[in-house]
Amino acid sequence: MPFISVSDGVAAKSFTHVENKFITKYMPELDPLAVKVYLFALYVYQCGQSYTLTDLSKALNISEEDAEGYFKYLEEFELVSITSETPFEIKILDAENVYGTPKKLNPEKYADFAKSVQNILKGRMISPSEFRDYFYLIEEYGFEQNALLMIINYCVNLKGDDIRAAYIKKVAKTFAQDGITTAAKVDEKLSSYTSSTPALVKLFAAAGFKGKPDVDDDKLYKKWVTELGFEDEGIAAAAKLYKAKNTAKLDEALEELFKNRKFDKKEIEDFCATKSSVYSLALDVAKSLGVYMQNSSPYVENYVSVWLNCGFTFDGIKKISAYCFKNGMNSFQDMDAFIKKLYDGGMVSDDSIAEYISEREKEDKILREILSVCGLTRKIIPWDRESLARWRSWNFSDGMLFEAAKISSGKSNPLAYMNGVLSSWKSEGIMSEDKIDRKQDAPNAGGSREERAALERHYFSLRQAAELRAERILKTATADPEYGAISKKQNELSIKLAFAEIRDKNTAATLSSEIAELEKRADRRLKELNIDKADFTPKYSCGICNDTGYDKDGKPCKCMIEFLKTLNCQTKCNSKR
């Protein structure tokens, strides 16, 4: 007869399923009450009942605090995961942890330590689960017992006897994260904190914060003073103007001020006074661009505030947004790229912006007229502007450009054909309208209409293939959330760096380091995505002419000559057939 059997009645009833590994591996090592809590949690889940921590504690006849403590104890063994503290919620995990055999904490080993803790916390009795939390800190975080006692004593002096264990654990883990686990290091840390306490007390009074400053507050204060570069007067002003209720909210305010390079009291006051105007400006820009903003804060932080910090005025930004809309740059990102070009060119004042836009509008007007003469109705693209700049560098007048456009009208790729016409004129020294041979309507390269058409199609296809490939690869990379975020951050810091190089060399050095680190992260991510950064730039088949057919002097490129030879050979072969 087997050691254990069940009656027919038992076999017919419902059951709560428990992993065998829990019984064989964990149950012998766990606290008996923890087993009770774990099994009841399994039962509640498998029955589909709606239970709270209060319901469970009543059913097991234990306090909520003990029930919570046992779940935290089970979390140490990776049997459950606490997914929410308020309301208290857990997730039951597989009965398998990565540390091998579960550790069994021996309370007798820490008997003297437990007595010392109870002597410090005289106002209440410490529960077994709380003691286990302290033992766990010693075992897992490597605290010396005296070091942990010093932390507990500090917390009690700060908050009183009724302090919750959760706060003590939080402070202890903060110390451990900084590698402060010995009594000597804890004493040094607390002494350091004491040195800044008077400044914190004064700040708390000025800001109207409740309670006493603790180690976390001290850590934030040192960050504000040393890392961010604020002085006490500026910190207090920020607390009042932002109506911060605690140091965490004040930290958010100071981070925003740091990003906007506002440090002293007057700068902070001016920034806060105009902050609503900055948000209004963001809305005006969005309307001008035709962009819908569900939440304007990211646009203010990443774009509008950065532009203002670079020296652009409200009116200048509005003028730029209107120009961007007219020219197909219908997003904050497109406008940001245009503003970077202005900034790199030293065009920040309203007058320089107006002059630049005026000149560009004149150029665009000429380009639209050229496109119209060529028989094209599309929008101006970057290639058009590059072509116009090249033709200007060849010293052609507007009149000559329009003459070439007339000759190119009706061709399969008028702009490419026009480029060939102008290149032929340049090589022959035809620089004025009176020297144009009206009987000729084609460039020297490629004699017959069929050859010229083949040339246009060939080079248009080569350019388009290279540019579309680069555009597609860049789009794939930026669509990746991680790389896209890094790329966006790099763009933001690049603008800040240009600004800092003028005013603050130390900040510029810091930003350069951040950008370099982002570059490394971006390269690592691209490697993970199997993308070569060099592919973001179009790889033209000919490095001499960039698939235009003409070199920098406007002469037919070697690749065009070779293509014509191949084309002629094919033509002869076809005629023989």
| pLDDT tens sequence across 324-340 | 888 778 888 889 988 98
Q: Is 55 in a helix, a strand, or coil?
A: helix
Whole-number Å distance between alpha carbons of 143 and 137:
7
* Whole-prediction pTM: 0.39
Q: Is the pLDDT of residue 148 over 70?
A: yes
Beta partners for residue 81, in sequence order: 91
Per-residue pLDDT band for 453 (boundaries 50, 70, 90) equals: low
- At residue 100, the pLDDT reads 46
Tokens of 508: 């510029």
β-strand 80-84 against 89-92: which pairing, if any? antiparallel
- At residue 306, the pLDDT reads 86
Lowest mean per-residue pLDDT among 89-103, 222-236, 250-264, 457-471:
89-103
Q: Distances from the Cα of 303 to the Cαs of 65, 85, 196, 343, 496, in angstroms?
A: 48, 37, 37, 14, 11
The predicted model gives 209-222 an average pLDDT of 79
Per-residue pLDDT band for 105 (boundaries 50, 70, 90) equals: low
Q: Is the pLDDT of residue 279 over 60?
A: yes
Per-residue pLDDT band for 3 (boundaries 50, 70, 90) equals: very low
The predicted model gives 13-32 an average pLDDT of 81
Per-residue pLDDT band for 317 (boundaries 50, 70, 90) equals: very high
Q: Is the pLDDT of residue 91 over 80?
A: yes
The predicted model gives 130-149 an average pLDDT of 86
Q: Is the pLDDT of residue 46 over 70?
A: yes
Q: Is the pLDDT of residue 270 over 50?
A: yes
Q: Is the pLDDT of residue 53 over 80?
A: yes
- At residue 452, the pLDDT reads 64
546-556 pLDDT, tens digit each: 787 776 666 77
Q: Is the pLDDT of residue 170 over 80?
A: yes
Q: Is the pLDDT of residue 154 over 80?
A: yes
Instruction: Determine the longest span between alpha carbons in the chain, in angstroms.
Output: 119
The predicted model gives 344-364 an average pLDDT of 86
Whole-number Å distance between alpha carbons of 530 and 477:
10
Per-residue pLDDT band for 142 (boundaries 50, 70, 90) equals: confident
Q: Is the pLDDT of residue 123 over 60?
A: yes
Considering only CA atoms, give the Rg of the chain.
Answer: 37
Residue 481, preceding peptide bond in cis (omega within 30° of 0): no
Q: Is the dihedral of CA 153, 159, 162, 165 positive or negative?
A: negative
Helix 314-326 to helix 350-373 angle, to the nearest 10 degrees?
Answer: 10
* DSSP-assigned letter for residue 533: G
Q: Is the pLDDT of residue 36 over 90?
A: yes
Whole-number Å distance between alpha carbons of 364 and 388:
10
Tokens 């903003």 -> residue: 293
Q: Report whether 556 contacts 423 (CB < 8 A).
A: yes
The predicted model gives 43-63 an average pLDDT of 85
The predicted model gives 215-228 an average pLDDT of 82
The separation between CA 502 and the C-alpha centre of its own chain, rounded to angstroms, equals: 26
- At residue 39, the pLDDT reads 92
Q: Is the pLDDT of residue 125 over 60?
A: yes
- At residue 443, the pLDDT reads 47
Helix 414-428 to helix 382-393 angle, to the nearest 10 degrees?
Answer: 10
The separation between CA 528 and the C-alpha centre of its own chain, rounded to angstroms, equals: 18
The residue type found at 153 is N
364-384 pLDDT, tens digit each: 888 888 888 888 877 777 778
Whole-number Å distance between alpha carbons of 313 and 541:
44
Q: How far apart are the first and last CA of the chain?
A: 97
Q: Is the pLDDT of residue 6 over 50?
A: no
Beta partners for residue 84, in sequence order: 89
The predicted model gives 123-127 an average pLDDT of 80
The predicted model gives 129-149 an average pLDDT of 85
